[in-house]
């Protein structure tokens, strides 16, 4: 019996070693694909941001209980810094949100106070929209938090597209089970993002439309979020203006600056 | 009458045994009265904290609100309904609830916003009498808010300090305003202590853009002894399609704990009085055996077995009466003292709670008539049962063998 076990062990070892070179080449191949996927994703991330950006955005929110329209002005620098100020409506005019690294600060003109949002508030809605505060923090970190691979490449609906599947890295603090992103192959213009929850049920869809010339190239001007459990509701972001590579002062993204605006 | 004079003479003949027996019974009675008063005190305090601080006897919600407390799930005709309930002789008040963030300095915490109408709320709950520091809400100062004690600690605020509220109003806009902490509550219950932020209804409606309706109606019976189920049924018929539940259904765990306390009391009585019964049985048996010759002579001169039995019972009755006096005097006075002063448990059980209901750090007794009468009545019953055997023994004594008994 004992000799038997030994034989099995040796055979197992032999098989493992024989397979080893094959596995290495598979990993390398996979690596190349991953690198390509990551590279494309980086370009998509930069679509609205670049090194720095300035934009005017109209946000339309429709829920079962209210519809509202906001006009926002935003600045960004790199991946970590974003500042958004409300221009309209009057009631919330001047309210500003600063994202710096993993923190979100809100300046509230009505009370003249700046509040750092607690972790409990991160899942809360941002300005009554279907975006959470957490979305703002995580917005441009797809490449860091997910392992991407190209799950489809070719023609669909008369368009050459890429379909990416993004699986969260084991240690990433994300709420999604996976994200499926569909891009137009030419120019990597995003078309649709599908967000799945941890049970792999679809949780929300982001659709991109009105692909027009914006800041020197073709970009989708409209981004529409629809929660899967409330298909009648949506939040729509419309880029009215977008400038990339604008010079921004060093201390622009600071709490002190939030008030002064 | 003659039997009583004989009995009292017999009782005081062996005064040491009488003293021990009487003291044992008296002490047991005293302990039972004290225990009953303390138990009642705990029950009253728990029920008060469970019901009178926040819950009320009966609550009305829109269907589904309790599972998912959504700002939009409201009782549309809340004010009319409150008036109708008040007309059938019950106290009622409508409440509004919201959620958001409160911040003071660099500290912030999630809060449960409570919009209340002080004029009706103060009839229903006692929370306005439960302010630790500062003052309760006033309709004249809409920016003054009252918060739970743990929340005050988290935010590091005291009365007079500013807090900022940030939340989302019903129209999706930002609900944000500056408030002054006007009061901090004593321990009321886990939820309120940790996250409760009370403000007046008018201010809540403005802040959260919620012009009509209410999230909850809380109802209190002015007469605590009236039937809860009957009141629930009456409210339910007024509330129509809305969900009506009484506190026993809303907090079944607390209701069970309070019910169990009654049976605990009975178990305590049985254990203590079984011990007392043994003492009485032993003492009376001794006194019968000791007097077998004397009892035999009594029988020989024509005393009937019934009269002998009556004699033994009379002797017991005298001792129980003395014991009852001791029990009532000491039990009543100590219970009265604890009703005023209570036992201070703050060093061991400060901020303790069970089932989400805060316990008072001072345990006060509550003396009811039953708490005095039941232990005394039980003492008589137990003693009379215990003495049955010695009494029968004395009654059936045979004169000749008794006289020759050694």
> Rounded to the nearest 5°, which phi and psi values hold at B290?
-60, -30
> Which residues are registered as beta bridge partners of A206?
A193, A225
Which 3-state string (H, E, C) describes B374-395? Answer: HHHHHHHHHHHHHCHHHHHHHH
Q: In this structure, are residues B403 and B293 in contact, taking their beta carbons and an 8 Å threshold?
A: yes
Residue of B nearest to A95 (CA): B174
How far apart, in whole angstroms, are the C-alpha atoms of residue A177 and residue A27?
24
Chain B residues near residue A66 by CB distance under 8 angstroms: 170-172
Long-range contacts made by residues B324-327, C-beta under 8 angstroms, separation at least 24?
B324/B26, B324/B29, B324/B376, B324/B379, B324/B380, B325/B26, B326/B22, B326/B23, B326/B26, B326/B27, B326/B29, B326/B30, B327/B25, B327/B26, B327/B27, B327/B28, B327/B29, B327/B30, B327/B32, B327/B33, B327/B375, B327/B376, B327/B379
Q: In this structure, are residues B188 and B141 in contact, taking their beta carbons and an 8 Å threshold?
A: no
B170/A contact by beta carbon, under 8 A: yes
Answer yes or no: is pLDDT of A52 > 60: yes
Please, what is the Cα angle at B103 between B99 and B106, to 5 degrees?
Answer: 150
Taking Cα atoms as reference points, which of A51, A45, A31, A35 lies closest to residue A183?
A45
Instruction: Judge residue A9's burial from the number of C-beta atoms within 10 Å of its C-beta, 0-12 exposed, 13-18 middle, 19 or more buried.
Output: exposed
Q: Would you say how long chain A is, in residues?
A: 261
3-state helix, strand, coil in chain B (%, to 5): 55, 20, 25
pLDDT score for B146 = 93
CA distance A70 to chain B (A): 10
pLDDT score for A108 = 86
CB neighbour list of residue A189: distance below 8 Å, 6 or more residues apart? A47, A183, A208, A211, A218, A219, A220
- For residue A159 the two structure tokens come to 């368009």
- Contact call for B173 and A128, based on CB within 8 A: yes
CB neighbour list of residue B374: distance below 8 Å, 6 or more residues apart? B32, B36, B269
- Contact call for B171 and A66, based on CB within 8 A: yes
How confident is residue A34, by pLDDT bands cut at 50, 70 and 90?
A: confident
pLDDT score for B322 = 92
- For residue B57 the two structure tokens come to 């006897």
B68/A contact by beta carbon, under 8 A: no
Residue of A nearest to B175 (CA): A92
Q: Around Cβ B160, how many Cβ atoms within 10 Å?
A: 10
Q: Around Cβ B3, how many Cβ atoms within 10 Å?
A: 15
By Cβ distance, the residue of A63, A115, A124 closest to B164 is A115
Give the A window 38-57 contacts with B, CB below 8 Å.
Answer: none
Query: Is the whole-model pTM more than 0.90?
Result: no
pLDDT score for B356 = 58
Q: What is the ipTM of this complex?
A: 0.71
Mutate to test the interface with B, among A68, A124, A130, A236 (most CBs of B within 10 A): A124
pLDDT score for B301 = 86
A68/B contact by beta carbon, under 8 A: yes
Mean pLDDT of chain A: 79
Answer yes or no: is pLDDT of A16 > 50: no
pLDDT score for A21 = 40
Helix (H, G, I), strand (E, B) or coil at A183: strand
Checking DSSP bridges between strand A52-62 and strand A234-244, what pairing results, if any? antiparallel
pLDDT score for A19 = 40
- For residue B16 the two structure tokens come to 């040491």
By Cβ distance, the residue of A63, A95, A111 closest to B172 is A63
How confident is residue A58, by pLDDT bands cut at 50, 70 and 90?
A: very high
- Contact call for B101 and A117, based on CB within 8 A: yes
Mutate to test the interface with B, among A70, A118, A119, A132 (most CBs of B within 10 A): A118
CA atoms within 13 A on the CB side of A259: 7
A245/B contact by beta carbon, under 8 A: no
**Tens of pLDDT, residues A201-228:** 998 999 988 888 887 788 888 989 999 9
- Contact call for B168 and A125, based on CB within 8 A: yes
Chain A residues near residue B103 by CB distance under 8 angstroms: 113, 115
Instruction: Judge residue B205's burial from the number of C-beta atoms within 10 Å of its C-beta, 0-12 exposed, 13-18 middle, 19 or more buried.
Output: middle
How confident is residue A23, by pLDDT bands cut at 50, 70 and 90?
A: very low
CA distance B160 to chain A (A): 17
By Cβ distance, the residue of B101, B176, B177 closest to A118 is B101
Answer yes or no: is pLDDT of A78 > 60: yes
- For tokens 């279907």, the residue is A130
Chain A residues near residue B173 by CB distance under 8 angstroms: 68, 89, 91-92, 128
Chain B residues near residue A63 by CB distance under 8 angstroms: 172
Chain B residues near residue A116 by CB distance under 8 angstroms: 106, 108
Q: Would you say how long chain B is, in residues?
A: 406
Residue of B nearest to A89 (CA): B173
Q: In this structure, are residues A89 and A128 in contact, taking their beta carbons and an 8 Å threshold?
A: no
pLDDT score for A137 = 65
Chain A residues near residue B166 by CB distance under 8 angstroms: 106, 108, 115
By Cβ distance, the residue of A91, A108, A115 closest to B173 is A91
- Contact call for B172 and A118, based on CB within 8 A: no
Q: Write out the DSSP string of B337-378.
A: HHHHS-EE-HHHHTT-EETTEEPPSEE-----HHHHHHHHHH
Q: What is the mean pLDDT of residues A233-256?
A: 84
Taking Cα atoms as reference points, which of B102, B116, B5, B106 lies closest to residue B54?
B116
* Cα of A132 vs its chain's centroid, Å: 12
How confident is residue A8, by pLDDT bands cut at 50, 70 and 90?
A: low
CA distance A168 to chain B (A): 29
A210/B contact by beta carbon, under 8 A: no
Mutate to test the interface with B, among A95, A111, A130, A255 (most CBs of B within 10 A): A111
**Quick check: bond before B248 cis, omega within 30?**
no
Helix (H, G, I), strand (E, B) or coil at B124: helix
CA distance B107 to chain A (A): 9
How confident is residue A127, by pLDDT bands cut at 50, 70 and 90?
A: confident
- Cβ contacts below 8 Å, chain A against chain B, sum to 61
Q: What is the mean pLDDT of residues A178-193?
A: 86
| Segments of chain B scoring below 70 in pLDDT | 1, 346-360, 405-406
- For residue B378 the two structure tokens come to 């039980």
Checking DSSP bridges between strand A202-214 and strand A217-227, what pairing results, if any? antiparallel
Chain A residues near residue B112 by CB distance under 8 angstroms: none
Long-range contacts made by residues B266-274, C-beta under 8 angstroms, separation at least 24?
B268/B32, B268/B35, B269/B32, B269/B374, B269/B375, B269/B378, B272/B28, B272/B31, B272/B32, B273/B28, B273/B32, B273/B378, B273/B379, B273/B382, B274/B382
B168/A contact by beta carbon, under 8 A: yes
Q: In this structure, are residues B146 and B237 in contact, taking their beta carbons and an 8 Å threshold?
A: no
- For residue B263 the two structure tokens come to 């049976």
Instruction: Judge residue A233's burial from the number of C-beta atoms within 10 Å of its C-beta, 0-12 exposed, 13-18 middle, 19 or more buried.
Output: middle
Taking Cα atoms as reference points, which of B253, B220, B257 lies closest to residue B235?
B220
pLDDT score for A5 = 54
How confident is residue A181, by pLDDT bands cut at 50, 70 and 90?
A: confident
pLDDT score for A194 = 92
CA distance B165 to chain A (A): 9
By Cβ distance, the residue of B106, B170, B176 closest to A108 is B176
By Cβ distance, the residue of B101, B171, B176 closest to A121 is B101
How confident is residue A17, by pLDDT bands cut at 50, 70 and 90?
A: very low
By Cβ distance, the residue of A61, A113, A127 closest to B164 is A113
Q: What is the mean pLDDT of residues A23-32?
A: 53
- For residue B177 the two structure tokens come to 């305003």
- Contact call for B103 and A113, based on CB within 8 A: yes
């Amino acid at each position: 019996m004992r000799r038997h076990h030994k034989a099995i062990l040796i055979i197992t070892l032999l098989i493992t070693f024989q397979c080893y070179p094959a596995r290495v080449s598979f990993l390398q191949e996979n690596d190349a694909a991953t690198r390509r996927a990551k590279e494309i994703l980086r370009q998509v991330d930069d679509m609205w941001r670049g090194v720095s950006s300035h934009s005017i955005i109209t946000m339309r929110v429709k829920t079962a209980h209210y519809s509202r329209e906001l006009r926002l002005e935003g600045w960004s620098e790199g991946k970590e810094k974003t500042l958004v100020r409300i221009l309209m409506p009057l009631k919330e005019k001047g309210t500003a949100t600063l994202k710096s690294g993993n923190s979100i600060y809100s300046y509230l003109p009505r009370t003249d106070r700046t509040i750092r949002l607690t972790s409990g508030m991160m899942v809360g809605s941002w300005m009554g929209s279907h975006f959470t505060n957490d979305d703002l923090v995580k917005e441009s970190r797809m490449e860091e938090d997910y392992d991407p691979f190209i799950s489809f490449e070719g023609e669909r609906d008369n368009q050459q597209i890429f379909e990416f599947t993004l699986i969260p890295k084991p240690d990433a603090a994300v709420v999604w089970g996976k994200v499926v992103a569909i891009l137009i192959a030419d120019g990597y213009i995003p078309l649709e993002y599908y967000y799945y929850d941890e049970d792999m049920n679809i949780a929300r869809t982001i659709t991109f439309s009105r692909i027009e010339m914006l800041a020197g190239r073709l970009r989708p001007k409209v981004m529409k979020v629809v929660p899967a459990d409330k298909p009648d509701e949506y939040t729509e972001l419309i880029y009215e203006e977008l400038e990339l590579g604008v010079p921004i002062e060093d201390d622009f993204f600071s709490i002190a600056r939030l008030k002064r605006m | 009458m003659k039997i009583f004079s004989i009995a009292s003479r017999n009782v005081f003949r062996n005064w040491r045994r009488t003293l021990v027996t009487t003291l044992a019974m008296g002490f047991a009675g005293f302990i039972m009265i004290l225990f009953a008063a303390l138990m009642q005190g705990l029950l009253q305090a728990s029920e008060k904290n469970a019901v009178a601080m926040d819950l009320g006897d009966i609550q009305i919600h829109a269907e589904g609100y309790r599972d998912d407390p959504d700002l939009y799930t409201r009782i549309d005709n809340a004010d009319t309904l409150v008036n109708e309930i008040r007309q059938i002789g019950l106290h009622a008040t409508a409440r509004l609830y919201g959620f958001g963030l409160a911040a003071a300095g660099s500290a912030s915490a999630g809060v449960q916003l409570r919009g209340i109408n002080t004029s009706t709320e103060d009839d229903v709950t006692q929370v306005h009498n439960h302010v630790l520091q500062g003052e309760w809400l006033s309709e004249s100062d809409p920016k003054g808010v009252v918060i739970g004690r743990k929340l005050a600690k988290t935010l590091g605020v005291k009365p007079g300090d500013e807090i900022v509220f940030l939340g989302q109003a019903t129209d999706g806009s930002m609900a944000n305003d500056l408030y002054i902490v006007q009061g901090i509550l004593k321990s009321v219950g886990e939820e309120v202590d940790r996250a409760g932020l009370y403000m007046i209804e008018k201010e809540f409606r403005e802040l959260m853009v919620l012009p009509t309706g209410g999230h909850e109606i809380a109802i209190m019976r002015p007469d605590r002894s009236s039937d809860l189920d009957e009141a629930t049924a009456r409210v339910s018929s007024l509330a129509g399609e809305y969900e009506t539940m009484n506190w026993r259904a809303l907090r079944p765990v607390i209701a069970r704990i309070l019910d169990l306390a009654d049976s605990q009391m009975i178990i305590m009585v049985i254990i203590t009085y079984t011990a007392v019964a043994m003492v009485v049985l032993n003492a009376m048996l001794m006194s019968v055996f000791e007097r077998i010759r004397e009892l035999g002579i009594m029988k020989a001169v024509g005393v009937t077995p019934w009269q002998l039995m009556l004699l033994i019972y009379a002797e017991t009755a005298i001792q129980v009466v003395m014991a009852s006096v001791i029990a009532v005097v000491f039990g009543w006075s100590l219970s009265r003292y604890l009703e005023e002063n209570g036992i201070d448990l703050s060093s061991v059980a400060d901020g303790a709670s069970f089932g989400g209901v805060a316990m008072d750090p001072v345990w006060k007794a509550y003396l009811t008539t039953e708490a005095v009468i039941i232990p005394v009545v039980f003492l008589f019953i137990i003693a009379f049962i215990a003495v049955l055997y010695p009494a029968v023994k004395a009654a059936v004594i045979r004169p000749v063998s008794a006289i020759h008994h050694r």
